[in-house]
Structure formats: structure tokens, C-alpha cells
Amino acid sequence: MIIIKKSWEIAESEVTPEPLYLRRREFMKAAGTIGGALMLSPWSSAQGALEIGAYQGNAVTLDEEITEEDAANSYNNFYEFGTGKEDPMQKSKRFTTDDWTIVVSGECEKHGSYGLEDMVKPFTVEERIYRLRCVEAWSMVVPWLGIPLGSILQSFQPTSKAKYVAFKTLHDPVRMPGQQRSVLDWPYREGLTIAEAMHPLTILSVGMYGKTMPNQNGAPIRLVVPWKYGFKSIKSIVGIEFTETQPQTSWNMAASREYGFYSNVNPTVDHPRWSQKRERRIGDIFKRDTLMLNGYADEVASLYDGLDLAVNF
């Protein structure tokens, strides 16, 4: 289990290795944001549980209200625990994530089975406040705690053949009772191009609201890709595979006309059954306009230069 302890304040430059520090500053500049309070400390382990000692302050801040923690923890999509919005909260209470391992395979030098602790411990946890826009036209603003996915992927030394990264959720119908029904072709699968996976906005998240990741939000580790529809942000990951060809993804397999591989938030490309122009922020009464690439176009639009986003939806 990952426990996030209370952190303390310390100057960023004192504790961050210089290359990382410089990269982070570049990133903050690119993102057009200023870091908030900065908190850092190493990971530590006690009583068999992994503790996230502390985390870096906001690399990305938003001038928008953060969604109430209770709402973000009780209005969820996690079909492994049922299809109702409150099912994940209610039906994941006994789900345990001790001794979690992640199998890394495919086009990389360092494949193998990694304990979660071994995989994430060399990295510093950062807080990232991101918009999350579900394809169902609701949205939230969530303070995630996570590690840039790219840093973790680099540690596996991908080969030049690695063009995509595929992710898999745990498949265990006893522990995840929603998998006893064939709502989807289990396990839940997702994928990114290697450029999307390496982009500094993409994180593997181990917590939210300053705490360990709740089961219903994808404990112990999930993906967060803020410019894509929420279903790309796969929960409870047990497999990471570097592939040469585009991997299969769950929602695309279920309904390819409705859900493409890219699934970038795009108000100009409607879902076949509803408009994507507007969204309801959880907690708001009125809808608001959906932003191109969920408001992250300055950072990520260049990933799609020359690609017709209406065709590659």
C-alpha cells in the first residue's frame, strides 16, 4: 500500500538534482505557470508499506476551482466495480493493493516484473492540478500526485522500435466483481503513442488531494493524460508494454465508431450520439465550453501537426 505522509517545505533548488531542476523550470515556463509552495523529500519505507514522503508543489496550476474531494471520490467511472457512478466507491472498499507488481514487457531493455515500490521510489512525486474531461461531457479539476510517465519509461530503456506504450488493468473477477459481467472485453486496456507517453504533462498518479490514491480512483497507480478524454486515464495498472504497432484499446474495441485511439478532447468533433462542445463541471449548475485539447493545446498541439483530428479522433 502507498501511504502519503504529510510533507514539509523546502527550497526546490536545495533538493532537486540540477538537471531535473532545470528541466522542471523549463516545463513550468512552457506551461506558462508558476510553481506554488514546493515540498520535497525522499520516499521512505516503514512497516512494509511504501510512504510517499512528500511531493513537489504545483508544476501546473489552474485559475479554476478544484473539485470537492468528496465529489471526485464518489462520482467515478471504474467499470471493474460496476457501471453506476457510485459503484466504484461502494464496491471497492475491500479491494487490497498490497504487494502490487507491474509487468514491463516489449520493446525495451529492462523488461521484467517490478514491485510498485521499486518502480516508483527513485522518483519525486509532484502535485499536478489538471482538468479531467470525461467523454460523457462532465469534468472535474483534480490535484493529482504523480510522477512524469516519461521518467519512469526511460528507466526501462525503450528500444528504437518502441512506437507505442500499452497499459493493462488488473484482471481478477473475484477482487473486481464488475469483471464478472462482460461489459467490456477484460482486462481494461489503453495505449498512447511514445511521444504522448513521454510528454511532460503525462503522469502516473499514486495519489490525489495530498493522499494515497483511493481504490475507486485507480489505486495504487493509474495514468493521467489531461488533454485526452478520461477513459484514456487507465486505473490500477499491472502491465506496461512497449510496442511497435498501435495497441488495442478497450473502448475502441467495444465501439470503434465512437471511440478512436487518440481520443483527444476536441469540442469540434462530436461523439456520434452527443455534442462535445460543452461540459458540466461537477458541482456547477451551468455548462461551460469545452476547450480544445482540454485547455492544454499550447503544450500538446504540436504532437498532432499534420494529423487530421476529425479522422484521427
Q: How many CB atoms lie within 10 A of CB 144?
A: 25
Give the one residue of 134, 201, 219, 221 binding ligand MTE; rule: CB under 6 A. Answer: 134
Q: What is the DSSP string of 235-250?
A: -SEEEEEEESSPPP-H
CB of 118 to ligand MTE, least distance (A): 23
Site for ligand MTE in 197-236 (CB under 6 A): 217-218, 230-231, 233-236
Q: Examine residue 80 and tell whether it contacts ligand MTE (CB under 6 A).
A: yes
The span of 22-30, 32-40, 72-80, 196-204 binding ligand MTE (CB under 6 A) equals 72-80
CA–CA gap between residue 186 and residue 17 (Å, rounded): 41
CB of 84 to ligand MTE, least distance (A): 12
The span of 14-22, 47-55, 76-84, 107-115 binding ligand MTE (CB under 6 A) equals 76-84
Residue nearest to ligand MTE (CB): 230
CB of 130 to ligand MTE, least distance (A): 11
Q: Examine residue 188 and tell whether it contacts ligand MTE (CB under 6 A).
A: yes
Q: Examine residue 76 and tell whether it contacts ligand MTE (CB under 6 A).
A: yes
3-class DSSP assignment, residue 165: strand
CA–CA gap between residue 138 and residue 282 (Å, rounded): 7
CA–CA gap between residue 240 and residue 53 (Å, rounded): 25
CA–CA gap between residue 230 and residue 208 (Å, rounded): 16
CB of 231 to ligand MTE, least distance (A): 4
Tell me the backbone φ, ψ of residue 48, rounded to 5 degrees: 75, -5
Give the binding-site size for ligand MTE (rule: CB under 6 A).
Answer: 17
Residues, the chain: 313
Q: Examine residue 67 and tell whether it contacts ligand MTE (CB under 6 A).
A: no
Q: Examine residue 146 and tell whether it contacts ligand MTE (CB under 6 A).
A: no
Give the one residue of 43, 78, 259, 304 binding ligand MTE; rule: CB under 6 A. Answer: 78
The span of 29-37, 41-49, 70-78, 119-127 binding ligand MTE (CB under 6 A) equals 70-78
Give the one residue of 56, 58, 67, 77 binding ligand MTE; rule: CB under 6 A. Answer: 77
CB nearer to ligand MTE: pick between 29 and 288: 288
CB nearer to ligand MTE: pick between 282 and 292: 282
Q: List contacts with ligand MTE (CB under 6 A).
A: 76-80, 132, 134, 169, 188, 217-218, 230-231, 233-236
